[in-house]
Chains A and B, each alone.
Chain A
């Protein structure tokens, strides 16, 4: 059973839950105070504005008891996925290295993007059928930055690319280092990603009928 953790201000918990069901992954939405790590085999921190993001995106949530327990789950090698605000929480809490800075345009950006998967040894990307996928982004602070470029190169999972699969500057929606859209830890069980796989999991609401988000989320099935 995968726990989808809801903080006050989380907005995407139901979407992630619906998409996990669609992907055949058993899941439950859990309020952060009620999270019991012993009951779950993995965690998703969904998108939104945890605690209003009033201090810095993800900052207050990263200091909650729930995130301390999430660290235990991660240390045990179980999957911990942070989507959008969840990714921000993962970097704020130190579960992933680096930082998510305000977008270069200094505003919220919502759009569908082409993405290229570059690491296939993570819980989400292992055995993925293809490497160019489409998913939407929606964030104001998604510019991944780390001063260790070698680390970034070896840990990045997904990059923003153009239609041809090239990580061009124009294809970079927020100014991320190396067009990074997603990174994982060494072991590949803790992954943060700015794009929303749950929004690319239903044929009806996808502009071109693709459901690439499901390909990623299905990776959790064997854990659930």
Chain B
């Protein structure tokens, strides 16, 4: 295993340490200073995110395993997002499964009970055998782990783009609940505590954090992937929640294994770990491999000496290994000892403070190959081509593999609305959603950063919830490439700006760089936002009824840049400017309409534009008739009106449209009746011209199922 540190980092180590580290120490530094664990290329910019708020119980500043926010009645929710992109490219089943295990351990390390998972998956072209193989195994891996551990997967995204052919993005978010006064820290404050490790350490996941901090080599890297054992994960979950009030700090063993976990839990104090005490899954492991192994299903607890037996007793009931491996000391050095010989002695300060980098930025050259909107595309072709894109088909094949109702708290289920809604222990309803838009980010990652934040906010509003907290995941190529870094900085600026505008703190996040294939081609920039919100009174369970009016809330702007239409037909057009105020006001109107019971259906207008929002009504078994002259838009071009993905808009169904228009106008938002729902099942009528979409409806329902049977 080589060391991935840059020459200037190695020189800095030597200078700060005053000597040449030995090989074992290099390996520890390689893990702890990896991009994956240290955020060395991103931290400066992440500092710009708003992280404070009256309800924030634990935020980024505390840099705990996960952030927490007060939801009233003495309860807090804990939220975190992560990915397992690199492992999933190599071993999709275990890569995706261990991603679920890892995020769950982040949540339980706060003493919180995990109540929901979201999975956001991006893979390449579905016509490729490899993509289908990856997808089938990614979903099976998530299902295997999530189902076995009894935490429902309640939502997510599945999208396809050739830029993810070699680098699938496998994001997973988890929400947990905990009594506000029972949140456990991930760092210690005093020396003298015992370090207790549960679980066995094996040879899987060697150098995983380092692996995730470089581009895929295309060579055999399967040894860097961890193997999933959800049954052990379930024991760790149940037992950790049982011991949580008996320990001082809990740390999940994630990237970088014990090297990182011990360094971070000590948090500037020192620690001594006796490697020979660590229970192993295989014999004869090299001592330093034990320290950097990323074997799953392990947790580290800092425990008062007199409580150790009590903690381990609970694990004994489950026949799960529980061992004191060392202790926290005052002397600020991290020491790994093997049979009384110190093999690693590194100052905590050096480990915790890697160099920070700010790389050069350069705006990328605009693609000049794209052409102006082709007038030759017929409306029918446009509708059929866009609406049959695999991003827009039913995802039932995916979510039906998830046990999304375990815990009997999933109120609005996958496929029912733009957000999932969950019942919380205090009786309140929580809505959650994850959003990304790589096509838009490829065009303009600043507008995109704002756009995905606003979209998540609208998605929550569409079920009756007001966003209260967000976490982000920033996924890019090699940060040392100026165009890639430029996209990263712009995305951070956009997200931060929107978060400040909506007054929603970002309580945690993750950065994943080096998402490039072995030819050095990066993925489209893919920042992702996961937002949670609380239902403000009533919630909306979407239903469609005949003879209801279709109301469009918000301005339609013919900016097609970054849209699905523009991607498919190679159209050059302005990138939508995100007018955050329109998103906020329209969302407020929707919340009021839900509480006044004036609407029976609400959908945010986004991917696929108005055309897809209308199709969402059609595939429920109804017909839709609209007149585009009634759409309040800045263009007369029907295709722009139908396929623009400009923000700040909702499609609503109501029997009282005048009331809605008055309400919207009183808030400074435009709204108009653009048509109505009728019983002509499967027919979309635009300005009197009828499009029979029945075949598309069948395609929508069965495409993924049939495509994946042949996978």
Contact = CB atoms under 8 A, between A and B. Distances in A.
Interface of A: 8-9, 11-12, 14-15, 18-19, 31, 33, 47-49, 51-54, 107-111, 136, 138, 196, 198-199, 201-202, 204-205, 207
Interface string B117-148: 00000000000000000000000100100011
Contacts, number: 82
Interface stretch (B408-416, B437-445, B650-658): B408-416
Greatest chain B CB density within 10 A among A12, A49, A111, A198 is at A49
Contact of A110 (B149, B230, B234, B399): B399
A199 B423 CA distance: 13
A39 B590 CA distance: 54
Interface of B: 140, 143, 147-150, 229-232, 234-235, 238, 317-318, 399-411, 413, 416, 423, 541
Question: Closest 6 CB pairs between A and B?
Answer: A52-B231, A11-B150, A15-B408, A49-B148, A138-B403, A108-B401
24 contacts: A8-B234, A8-B238, A8-B318, A9-B148, A9-B234, A11-B234, A12-B150, A12-B406, A14-B407, A15-B406, A15-B407, A49-B234, A51-B231, A52-B230, A53-B148, A107-B140, A108-B143, A108-B147, A108-B400, A110-B399, A138-B405, A196-B405, A205-B411, A207-B413
Given A109-B400, A110-B403, A136-B405, 6 more contacts: A11-B149, A49-B230, A49-B234, A110-B399, A204-B423, A205-B410
Contacts of B409: 205
A199 B148 CA distance: 17
A210 B317 CA distance: 40
Contacts of A53: 148
A8 B235 contact: yes
Contacts of B402: 108, 110
A33 B317 CA distance: 9
B147 A49 contact: yes
A205 B235 CA distance: 27
B415 to A, nearest CB: 10
Nearest to A16: B408
A49 B235 CA distance: 12
A66 B269 CA distance: 47
Contact of A199 (B140, B318, B408): B408
Contacts of B149: 11
Contacts of A107: 140, 143, 401
A110 B405 contact: yes
Given A8-B234, A49-B148, A108-B147, A204 B411 contact: yes
A52 B399 CA distance: 21
A110 B404 contact: yes
Contacts of A196: 405
Contacts of A111: 400
Contacts of B416: 207
Contacts of A138: 147, 403, 405-406
A93 B281 CA distance: 32
A52 to B, nearest CB: 3
A47 B150 CA distance: 10
A125 B355 CA distance: 69
Contacts of B238: 8
A166 to B, nearest CB: 20
B408 A205 contact: yes
Contacts of A11: 147-150, 234, 403, 406
A9 B234 CA distance: 6
B114 to A, nearest CB: 12
